Every structure is written in C-alpha cells, then in structure tokens.
Amino acid sequence: MSKTPLWPVLDDYGLHKVPLRFYWLLVLLLRPYICWVMVLTLPQAQRDMLSWFYPKQHDFIVACLVAAPLLLLVAAQSQRKPKGRKGWRHIWRFGRSILLSVACIDLVLSIMHLPQQVMLDAPWRILTPLLLVAGCIWLLCSRTLKVVFSEWPEQADTPQDPT
C-alpha cells in the first residue's frame, strides 16, 4: 500500500484542482443563461418554453443580471493556466466572494418568487432554494475552495529568441 497522501489533488499545472461541486454550483447559478441557450436552440414553435421557468420577462432579465458576474468568473477560470492572461488573476482572487454574493442574491430572489402554497401546488420549486442554501454553506466552510481561489499559476519564463 502506498504511503503517498491522496490530498491535495493537483491538476496538470501543479495547482489545487477545482472541486466538482464548484462546477455544479456554477450550473445552478447560471441556469438563466443555460435556459436561454436551450430555448435559442429549439424550433420557433417551441420558443415559449422559457416562460415555464420565468413566467414574467422581468424575472428572467433580473436573473440574467444577477448571474452576469459569474460569466467573468468562468472566463477567469479558463485562463487559470501557465500561458493564460495574467489580468484575470484579479477576478479569480475574488471568485469566492463573487460566487457567494450571487448565490445569496439568487437565494433571496428565489424565495421571494415562491408561490404562497408552494408545498401544496409545486413542491419541486423548493429544490432550488435548498440547493442554494447548501451552496452558500459550502462556499463559507470549504477550506479547499479558499486555497483554489488564492492560487494562480506563475508565468513560465519563455526563452528569448536570439535572432
């Protein structure tokens, strides 16, 4: 049996791997954009599917505005590699607080838009606030996530071309 520790798990660049829960939380928080893309890919006759999730157009616009900072975080995460753009490091460092603030605002909005008789009429609608509460707790308590957002790959020194 090997005595090498299983943790921390490092990626190809020597950084802590981003936990899979991070991606699931991103999917949950980016659901207005995911719904939007799904609706855009449907035939014209089925484009009213967006109204199933967002009955009022105002709710959809607010949900997109709330989730918009996460698009910057996704872009910064894509640059988290040695040859990535260094400027995204500043956004990545604030990623945990961006995620937490978006999750808290989304939680408040989700609770505010629940129908009064939610447990009788549509008990499945309580799932999103419960997942958001679990996500907020995880964001506050995760030690791994603190380390992940504090790391950024160092720029590899590229040899200068003598010609």
Give residue-wise pLDDT tens across range 127-146: 889 999 999 999 999 988 89
DSSP track, 24-78: HHHHHHTHHHHHHHHHHTS-GGGGGGHHHH-SSHHHHHHHHHHHHHHHHHHHHHH
For residue 67, give the nearest of 25, 39, 38 by alpha carbon.
Answer: 25
pTM for the full model? 0.81
Domain boundaries, the chain: 20-150
The span from the CA of 70 to the CA of 122, in Å, is: 28
Give residue-wise pLDDT tens across range 77-108: 888 877 778 888 888 899 999 999 999 999 99
